[in-house]
Each structure stands twice: as C-alpha cells, then as structure tokens.
Structure 1
Amino acid sequence: MLTFAVLVLATLALLCHHRKRAYARNTVGFLHAAAGAGGGGERVLWVALDGLQHADAAKGVKRQYVVFTNEYKPEDRLSAESSDQHLLSLVEKQFSIRLLRPVRFIYLRPAVTRWLSGDAYPRLTLLLQTFWGGAALFYEVAIANAVTPIVLETVGVPFVYPLLRLLAGCTVISYTHYPIVSSAMTQRVRIGEVSHTNAPTVARNPMLRCAKVVYYEVFSLLYRCMGFFPNVVLTNSSWTQNHAQSIFWPRTCIRLYPPCDVAGFAAESQPPALRNNRIVSVGQFRPEKNHMLQLVAFHAAMPRLPMDAKLVMIGGVRNADDRKRVEQLHARAKELGIEKQVEVLMNATVAEVRAELGKCVIGLHTMRDEHFGIVLLEYLAAGCIPLGHRSGGVELDILNSPDLGFLAVTAEEYAAAMVEICEMRLRDPERYVQFQKRGSEHVKSFDDSSFRTRFVELVSEYVYAC
C-alpha cells in the first residue's frame, strides 16, 4: 500500500512538473476562485496584479500572468463580450483598475470549486473544507490544467500550499486574510459559549464540548504543518499576524494591510450639517456579522435618538440562507416595534454604498474578532464616524485611537455610543469635523498606492529571482 501511494505521488509530481514547463520560469499565477466577486479580498488580488505589471514595465521585464478563477459570463446572452472581457470590465467597474497588459484566464469548473465552500460540508466543516477542498483545487489547477512556476494564493486555502511546493515544485506566496482556526475559537468551545461556529447543542453538552476541543486541537496541529510550506505568508492585520505566528508556523510572516478605495469614498463625504440621522451598517448577511445585535442596540437607543433616526443595513445576499437571515431581521425588527425605522438594502451597488456612507451619521460594525475590517476604513474615508466591535483588527489596526471612532461590545455600549455620536453632530459639529479630519488622515496609509508599493517590495525577492 505504501509503495502504491509513493508511486501515485511520484506520477502526479512528474505530471505537474511536465505541464508546468509550458510556462516561462518567471510566469506568475494568481489563485483566486471568486476573482469577480468585488469584495475586499478581490481588491487585494487586482491591486497586487496591477502593481506587479507596473513594476515589470518599470524594470523592462516581460512576463505572462495567469489568473485561475471561476468563469464570469455576461448576463446578456446576446452580448458579444467574451468571458475574459466581461471579467476585466467587472474589475474596472468595481475597482477602477485597468490592467497595463493582457492576462490569461484559466477557468475553474464549478463542480470543483463548490468544494471550497463550507456550505458543502454539514459536518466536520473545517477538516473537509480544508483537505478535500484544497486537494480538489490542486487537482484542477495543477493536474487538469498547467500550474505556473510562481503562485500567489490570495484567498487562504492552506492544504494547497504543501501540494504546490512538494508535488509541483512551485514558489508559493500566500496572502492570508484570517486563520482558519484560532485559539479564541477553541476557548469559546471549552467554556461552552454559543456562537455561529459552536451550536447550542454542543455548548450545553460537556462530552460534545470535549470532543470538539480535541477536534480543534488536532486540526490546529495539521494547520501548523501547512504554514511551513509557503515561501512567504503575508497577513492583513495585527490580529491575523499574531494568530498566524502562533498557530500557522510560517517560515516568513509579514503584515501587509489590504488596500482600500480611499479616494472613491472620500469624494462622497459631506460635512455634519449636510448629513442625516441614518446609522448605516455595511456587511454581508452572514451569522458572524451579528446584525441582530445592531437591532437590539438601535432599539435601546431609540428613545434618545432624533425622531428621524433610522438603521440602514446594507449587505450582499448570495443564496437562500442569506435571504432567510434577511427575513429573520425583518421579523425581529417587527417584534421590537422598530420595523418602520429599519431599512435593509440587498446587493447595493458600490455607488449606492458610497452615497449612503457619505451622508450618514454613523458607520456601524458588530462582528466579533473581525480579522481586519476594511469597512471601517470605508467609514472613515466617507466621513461618517465609525462605531465598531472592540476586538480583532478593528481594535488593533483601524480604530486604535479614541480620536478616530468608537468601540463597543454589548448592546448597551453600542446604544450609548449611537446617542453620543448623533448628539455630537447636532450640538457639537466642530468635534464631529475633528473626527472626520483625523479619520481622513488615518486612512491615507491604507490606500491602493501604499499597498501596491509595499506588496511589490515584499514579493520582489521571489518574483524577480527567475
């Protein structure tokens, strides 16, 4: 059996190396299944690619770039636009990025990429998503297709790292947005705390809690081993950096804040007198975003808020589960008697989000242990005062000074902060303006240009060595 396994692995390695020879040694591939999704992770991908192309042009380097991603077809079936053209048009619309040189797209099959989603695994989600999903992705990239000699993985699929290094012989650069498992997750299970990753049935049963702690500990050990294989791991925040160094065991680990569309949001910013009393939350309708806390906090603050105050929840709806969560929010708002003061905007455009943030009074965020929280930067850039959760990258990297915004944990703390900020806009607009000025200055270090320059500096050793 062992001999057979070795023969299979050797055959796979030979096949991967043979196919990789189709590319020049300096060819760079970006591995990012949802390249057209338009989120913060996708911004990292496209700003990084744009930065490398401009660096190549400055150095006189000729290089091919390949993007391994899902296929994005035009919605209009009669459109003459190809999938490649449509994806590039999406990127230009989403991020105002027009690439300097052409890139090659290799489209991943949906039958394979579906295994990268946690929704595909009702049980043992972490284990199966990581190993089966990673193995499926490696097969699609390196065996069904030809993998590039240099791979930049910008999502965070850890099992693909040892496969790319050991079997395909690639140089691997990882941009890690968050650790898959953390000591905080294990501790919550240990003390029986109910959360979106720890169901009530497990939290209340000592035997199940013990079994899940063992499961997390074993998985953490396996996760540590995967961290050794990338040539360099870039992390998006101090929180992620700290956890990666203690859990992921990377050989080289460097913090690199993700890029933010500072200019786009700043263009919509209004002074206090032209702002309304809307409290706006931006974030996908996922359990960890904790929208229910927003409703409870807003309800508690209502008697002390201006009569026209409203809570506006803006978020993406990806599937039936997300739609169900939106329905639950409407039902909860009705239970609290605030349904007329609550608006839910689904799948709003970037322009609509900018417009809302440019004239609202508060930018609201309630996710615990957010690895970074780029939406807080968008709040600061748009000139509304951010009110975020006192944890994770939000506390360590973004609202790391009380002069930049407000932090809270409980519904009572959120309600008190809502009241204070609304009163500030009406009664002390000069103080509100000072918050805006400090926020505007703070976000400059997170713009596209800063990320592009630093990213090229950090990966040059690996990208320009060939």
Structure 2
Amino acid sequence: MVNWILFWSIITLPLATVIFFASKVLNIRRNKRRAVGFFHPYTNDGGGGERVLWCAVKAIQEENPDLDSVIFTGDHDASSQSLMSRATDRFGVHLLYPPKVVHLNKRKWIEEKTYPHFTMIGQSLGSVYLSWEALTKFTPLYYFDTAGYAFTYPIARLFGCKVICYTHYPTISLDMISRVHQRNSMYNNDASIARSTWLSQCKIIYYTVFSRMYGMVGSCAHLVMVNSSWTQSHIQKLWRIPERTKRVYPPCDTSGLQALPLEREVDTPKIISVAQFRPEKGHGAQLEAFSVAISKLDEDSPRPKLQLVGSCRNKSDEERLQNLKDKAVQLNINGDVEFHQNVMYRDLVRLLGGAAAGIHSMIDEHFGICVVEYMAAGAIPIAHNSAGPKMDIVLDEDGQQTGFLAQTVDEYADAILKIVKMPESDRLKIATAARRRASRFSEQRFYDDLKAAIRPIICHSS
C-alpha cells in the first residue's frame, strides 16, 4: 500500500505542479493589461542603455498615449515620480507622464557576483526567473526588453505578450568565440584560460552551445531593433530573423550639444572620457596613453588635462574607480587627471562644452553614444578602431576628417598629441565636420525610426 502511495506521489506531484502553473499562466494571459512593460532591472546605471530606455518610453507615450508605460525595475527606491525626474535630470528626456513601476525582488539572480563561474549562462537563466516574477506581478500586452535579456522572450510569449526588444549588443558574438580560438586574454577571457589549450577548448564548446541557445531564444522576438551595423550583422547571424530585425541608431543629444560654441580653451586643452566605470570601457589604457602623451610633450606645447566622467553601478565599480585614481598616482599624472562620478546632465554638458577632444577605448563597442556626443559638442573624437565607431560614426563627412581611430596605447597617445599641437583653425575644421556627422544620430531620428519600427506590431496586433 505504501509503495502505491509513493508511486502515485511521484507521478502526480510533477503533473499537479505543471497543471498549477499552466492554469496560473492561462489566467494571467486572459487578464493582460493595455500597457507596454519595459524590462530594465537597473534603472540607475546612468549609461547609454538607460538613455535608450527613457527615449523609448517617451516615443511610446507619444505614439500610443492610450497605452500605459510600466517599468520593471529592481531598484526598490524607484517611484513613478523619481524615474520621471531622473529621465529629465540625468538625460534631458521629458516624459509625457510618469510611468508606472513594478518592483522586482529577485534581481540578485542576474547579478554578476552571483555567478563566479559560467557567469553568462548563469545571468541568462537568472533573467528567466526574474522575468517570471515580473510578468506574474503585471502582464502587459507588449513586453519591451531594453536591457538585452533575450532568455526572457520565450517566457513573455508564454504569458501571451508581443515581444519587442532593443538590442545594444549580442550577449555572445562570433568575435568572442574567435578570441578564445586565438587564445587572446581580455576582460571576458581570463589569462589562465587563454594560456591553456584544454581550458580554451572547453570554453569554445561552452560558447558554441550558448550561442545556439541564444539564437533560439532571440528568434522568439516579434520585433528586434539593433543599434548599429556591427550589432545588426551579429544578431542576424545568431537569431536568423532578418525580416524582423531593424537598425535604429540610439538617441544622442545632438541638438542640445550642437548649441555649444566650437571654440575651446587653448592654454589647457581638455580631453574628456565619458563612460561607466566598467572593465570593458578600458579606462586604464586611457590613463596609460595620456601618460605617454604627457611624456612626449614639447616644452612650448600646452599641457592637457584628462577628465574621466562616469557612473558607478555597484561596489565593484566603486573599487574600479578607486583603482584608476591609484593608477593615476602611480603614473605621476594625478595632477593632470580629474574624476567626475555620477554627474548630473547639465554638468556633463558643461564638461563636454569645454573639451577639445573626447577619448573612447572600448573594444568592439556596439555603437558608441559617447563618441557621437563628443562630435556634437565640438570635441574631436579619439575612438577605438572597431565596431560601431569604425563602421558607423567616425567616418569622413563630405570628404573632411571627423576624428581619429586608434587601437594601441601609442596610437592613442599620438592622436592626443596631434590634437593638442593642432592649429586652432585645423581643429575647428575637423570639429565642424564632426558636428555635421553627429546630426545623423539625433534623438529625433531615434524617435522617428523607433515609431516606424513598432507601428506594425502595436497598431496591427490584437
């Protein structure tokens, strides 16, 4: 008798669990709200991704005022009014009305520190759990992922949502797999793995399996918007839904920054760097390049100043910022380097308005909003010679150079020296051409392109 009870328990318990969750999902599907739910667990990261979020919210509010805007966030201190104020104060984006807020309690499952190993798959599977929490709390008609969590798309479809995403960069790319093949050490490929043939082979298998999974979940989106030619190329190869993939350049504050005067101080040229204090942004290389440039300065050349401007998401970023300050001391350039943390938008505009050049050093930056902001503000860009800056941004405008591309520390240092020593008339020619090119990536163009992309999904779906 006991054996039969145990047998039926083993059979019926999983079945009952499946039936329970299926009935729960079906009930939720019948009660979807007329809203667009923006899945953006970190609404305080201060980067280009957050700017896209607020501009996307504004675009939806303008295009479909009858739909509520709902933000799924793990920031417990976020409120409708505080997020609306943040969009204005930090990014200069004026929402039409405050978005509703759904607080998420399980954000730890997508945090990097939760997964010391197999971080990529851990965070991806953790996002599935987080999206389940989000959609059981509030189920919108349209699920809009603005943070790159593709593994949540099948869950959103399970809940009956139309899935829209804005993809800044692929979670895995063919370039990443290639670097492991070549055994190159980088922030996402530990030196110990790069040195080992066996570990490199294991990582190649891991990356290959993950890329197949990533392709499957990504193909669940009804509409995919990508931010650059580089991202579009990779996403089309991985997700294989080119007919549902649209390129929408991210919103850059070109109009406000273009109002700044092009003339700059020549006695102390400012070199600005605008980027979150994250490992992939390459701040250490910027300090090294600046140090090399300082060491090569002629006595009669003006001495430049480097201004690092960025936000910190967490304690790791805070520690990284402190390490950069320590490195400036070690390089004996601390007197020539300023650090500006978590600045307000008006202060960022002021700093950009005083910069002769802007430096960017992230390898394979998917787009590079900061590079466009430099150009719009009249600061000559010195950008990494890869991906977005190389393919879309730092290109000649009407035959006139718009900036510099570099890869090595020496190349960055040479570009800094060229700008510092450049006659003001030559600098103004490049800055003028760069400003014209930046107008191609305006905030208004983002609104127009995004609205055009979403119109068939939102207007013609039930």
CA shift digits 1:330-359 (9 cap, x unpaired) = 333333332322222222222222212211
- Tell me if the contact between 1:16 and 1:146 (Cα under 8 Å) persists in the aligned partners: no
Q: Quick one: structure 1 residues 94 and 327, their matched pair in 2 at CA, closer, same or farther if it must change by over 3 Å?
A: closer
1:247 matched residue in structure 2:
238
Q: What letter is aligned with 1:414? A: Y
Q: CA deviation at 1:212?
A: 0.9
- Gap regions ≥5 residues in structure 1: 75-82
Q: What letter is aligned with 1:380? A: M
1:14 matched residue in structure 2:
23
Q: CA deviation at 1:383?
A: 0.5
Q: CA deviation at 1:161?
A: 0.5
1:263 matched residue in structure 2:
255
The CA distance in 1 between the partners of 2:214 and 2:113, in whole Å, is 20
State which of 272, 276, 286 in structure 2 corresponds to 1:294: 286
Q: CA deviation at 1:376?
A: 0.3
Greater alpha carbon shift after TM alignment, 367-376 vs 307-316: 307-316
1:140 matched residue in structure 2:
133
The CA distance in 2 between the partners of 1:88 and 1:310, in whole Å, is 35
The CA distance in 1 between the partners of 2:267 and 2:52, in whole Å, is 31
- Tell me if the contact between 1:68 and 1:105 (Cα under 8 Å) persists in the aligned partners: yes
Q: CA deviation at 1:174?
A: 1.0
Q: CA deviation at 1:263?
A: 2.6
The answer to whether structure 1 residue 121 and structure 2 residue 130 are counterparts is no
CA shift digits 1:129-155 (9 cap, x unpaired) = 101x22212221122x13112111111
CA shift digits 1:248-281 (9 cap, x unpaired) = 3336111111101123323344414568412111
- Tell me if the contact between 2:89 and 2:345 (Cα under 8 Å) persists in the aligned partners: no
CA shift digits 1:190-235 (9 cap, x unpaired) = 2221100111111111111111111111111111111210011111
The CA distance in 1 between the partners of 2:203 and 2:353, in whole Å, is 45
Greater alpha carbon shift after TM alignment, 274-283 vs 151-160: 274-283
Q: CA deviation at 1:67?
A: 2.1
1:99 matched residue in structure 2:
95
The CA distance in 1 between the partners of 2:12 and 2:86, in whole Å, is 49
Greater alpha carbon shift after TM alignment, 246-255 vs 377-386: 246-255
The CA distance in 2 between the partners of 1:268 and 1:5, in whole Å, is 64
The CA distance in 2 between the partners of 1:47 and 1:213, in whole Å, is 37
Q: Quick one: structure 1 residues 275 and 64, their matched pair in 2 at CA, closer, same or farther if it must change by over 3 Å?
A: farther
Q: What letter is aligned with 1:233? A: V
CA shift digits 1:446-466 (9 cap, x unpaired) = 222111111111111111123
The answer to whether structure 1 residue 462 and structure 2 residue 457 are counterparts is yes
The answer to whether structure 1 residue 29 and structure 2 residue 37 are counterparts is yes
2:444 matched residue in structure 1:
449
Q: Quick one: structure 1 residues 340 and 463, their matched pair in 2 at CA, closer, same or farther if it must change by over 3 Å?
A: same
- Tell me if the contact between 2:252 and 2:442 (Cα under 8 Å) persists in the aligned partners: yes
Aligned-partner SS, 1:211: helix
What TM-score do you get using the length of structure 1 for normalisation? Answer: 0.89
Q: CA deviation at 1:307?
A: 4.5
- Gap regions ≥5 residues in structure 2: 1-9
Greater alpha carbon shift after TM alignment, 229-238 vs 270-279: 270-279
1:80 matched residue in structure 2:
none
Q: What letter is aligned with 1:354? A: V
2:86 matched residue in structure 1:
90
- Tell me if the contact between 1:268 and 1:355 (Cα under 8 Å) persists in the aligned partners: no
What TM-score do you get using the length of structure 2 for normalisation? Answer: 0.90
State which of 62, 73, 76 in structure 1 corresponds to 2:77: 73
The CA distance in 2 between the partners of 1:102 and 1:351, in whole Å, is 21
